[in-house]
Amino acid sequence: MRTEIPRTHPRYESLVVREKLVEGFEEGYVVPQGLIAHGRGECFDYLIGENTIEPALKAMKAAAAALLLARHPVISVNGNVAALVPGDVVKLARAVNAKIEVNLFYRSEERARKIAEVLRSHGADEVLGVNDATATIPELFSERRRVSPRGIYVADVVLVALEDGDRTEALRKMGKTVIAIDLNPLSRTSLAASITIVDNVVRAIPKLVDLLKSVRTESRNHLEEILRSYSNNEVLSEVLDHINQRLRELSEKLRVKTRSPGEP
């Protein structure tokens, strides 16, 4: 690690995560815009309490069912995801027999190649989207429209993290089930996805791998039932309720402190 962070620092874990992104940036596969996106995520993480909350677990269960029922599941990887959870992405892909595809908003073949290398060094056998991003997603103008004809283009279920709203909408219009991992419950991605896991990608992907161990033993009928009864709007409402309640409790605590005598 570039900067030594003392283990006793109260925000040790969060700082380690930042260091991983800075390393990815220095190695040339995380873009500066990715660092900004991470900052926005951190803000929402503070609001939810930097923990995996109940509505996220509910969404993860539906995500696990969708991935297990999928015929062509694909995990889409960008620079931030490669810097933060490369090994967990490989484990998840193995657990549900999914393909891994590099997909970048700020695309260059060089970045795509570096990300594929990172994933391979963590055990990925095949990484799509490097020299084969020859198909295009209709109605989309960013470089993210370029996809592999063997991956996202033909996928029925796509898992994305730190995704852009336009692309999520375009993938939905193509009839795909989109699973998003996004700390902001108000982003266009969160609102447009079929299943939104409002959690930090560093907690969500390992948890999803873990959850799959039990969900995979369920019958096909039961998995279908989990998906039928899932409502993403309901889950997003629950996330907002969680934040609301948490902020109310925190504000009340401060008020009690203000009233208590002896306050400096």
Q: Which of 217, 101, 78 is nearest to 152 (CA)?
A: 101
Does the footprint of ligand ATP cover residue 182 (CB under 6 A)? yes
Residues 6 or more apart whose CB falls under 8 angstroms from that of 101 comprise 74, 75, 76, 77, 127, 128, 129, 147, 148, 151, 152
Q: Which does 65 bind (CB under 5 to 8 A by kind): Mg ion, ligand ATP, none?
A: none
Spatial distance between the Cα atoms of 165 and 261, rounded to a whole number of angstroms: 49
Closest CB to ligand ATP among residues 76, 200? 200
Q: What is the DSSP letter of 211?
A: H
Per-residue mark of binding to Mg ion, 204-243 (x: CB under 5 A): ----------------------------------------
Q: Which of 102, 88, 92 is nearest to 29 (CA)?
A: 102
Q: Which does 246 bind (CB under 5 to 8 A by kind): Mg ion, ligand ATP, none?
A: none
Per-residue mark of binding to ligand ATP, 135-174 (x: CB under 6 A): --------------------------xx-xx---------
Query: Are 31 and 21 spatial neighbours (Cβ–Cβ below 8 Å)?
Result: no
Does the footprint of ligand ATP cover residue 68 (CB under 6 A)? no
Does the footprint of ligand ATP cover residue 38 (CB under 6 A)? yes
Specify the pairing of strand 177-181 against strand 146-147.
unpaired
Binding residues (CB under 6 A) for ligand ATP: these are 37-38, 40-41, 44, 161-162, 164-165, 181-184, 187-189, 200-201
Binding residues (CB under 5 A) for Mg ion: these are 164
